Amino acid sequence: MNKLKFSKDAGSEFYKELNLEIEKYFSERGIVKTGNKVMMFKIIMYFSLDVLFYALMITSTTAAGFYVFYLLMGLSILLTAFNISHDAAHGVAVKSRFWNKFLFSVSFNLQGNNAYVWGKNHNESHHLYTNIEGSDIDVLNNPLLRMTSTQPLKSFHKYQFLYAPILSLLYSINWFLFREVLMLFKKSSRTIAIRIPFWEVVKLILFKLIYLGYMLLLPMYVLPFGIGVVILAFILNHFMVSIIFTSVLGVSHLSDFVEHPSPDEEGKLAMSWPTLQMCTSVDYNANSTFLNWTLGGFNAHAMHHILPNISHVHYLDILPIFVNTANKYSIDYMNMPYGQALKSYCRFLYKMGHQKSIIPLRYESQAS
């Protein structure tokens, strides 16, 4: 990973005052930045739903019921990841460092994905160097998709706005079957080489086998529906998870409003870290109670990137502080309806397939 240096700008002062205001907010109310009673309810509810739907699935008496409960279990597990795993990865789901690590490890590893690989690189790469190729692990160098102006423009990329949504169906199953395995052989489409400790390699393989065991082999063994029915449910579940996951997260950093900054020859960016976060992240319906509850605050992604040490259960309360401080320092905060964010994502795919470089659109606040 290329380590970079940042510059000072208005974002530096914005970030300094924002933290002071946030500290004041929590200290005056005598509350902590980690999860509260709402989070405890969510933890109990989501893990209970995971177990309930699995129990109903594994005891299904009809193929229709099997499919319904299988997909409901998949949806519940995904919402557990949004609401619990992500906060726990940042150490803010609960107060205890041990329980944060436990919640994150259990919920992530039991999905067949390695918690160490995702957690370490999410925090140390994506959050630090968002949208910077060679430094942000989430910037892909996929031969089928062109995502930055520095990647070569091929003739077939002109169609990527059409086939990208189809490829997105494979996101989850690719993550499970290939993404981390290819990292072991340094063949990943990720632009950063990953070193995985031996014990994590063992866990990676072990939990993928456990996942296959309870998601495929056990249902095949105890239920009378046949191998084909179980495999189809497995595939449909991954399709569903992929559609929701990419729809929720894809629009946050892949947009014709956001920037993909490049450092100079000395590895220095012409902006501060807070400015980088604000110009590379799009929020949608950030004040929505429903989306905050269901998506675990992923719809307030810019705010999360600036304040990763705060649980999403506080986002709706601190959003006015965030917006007012950004306005005070003339920092653009991109918060739009989801439909607008989705259109921007589609335009981004189209432009990246037709133009060698694109100039980000100027975001006009809905309040202006």
pLDDT band at 118 (very low <50, low <70, confident <90, very high): confident
- Quote the pLDDT of residue 138: 79
Percent composition of the chain: helix, strand, coil (DSSP 3-state, to 5): 60, 0, 35
Q: Is the pLDDT of residue 187 over 90?
A: no
- Quote the pLDDT of residue 296: 95
pLDDT band at 195 (very low <50, low <70, confident <90, very high): confident
* pTM for the whole structure: 0.91
What's the whole-number average pLDDT of the chain? Answer: 91
What value does the mean pLDDT take over residues 224-244?
A: 96
Question: Is the dihedral angle over the CA atoms 317, 321, 324, 329 positive or is it negative?
Answer: negative
CA–CA–CA angle 361, 366, 368 (5° rounding): 100
- 312: number of CA atoms within 13 Å, CB side? 31
Angle at which helices 37-58 and 63-80 cross, to 10°: 160
Question: Is the dihedral angle over the CA atoms 320, 321, 323, 325 positive or is it negative?
Answer: positive
The closest alpha carbon to 365, from 331, 321, 334, belongs to: 334
Domain boundaries, the chain: 36-273+338-354
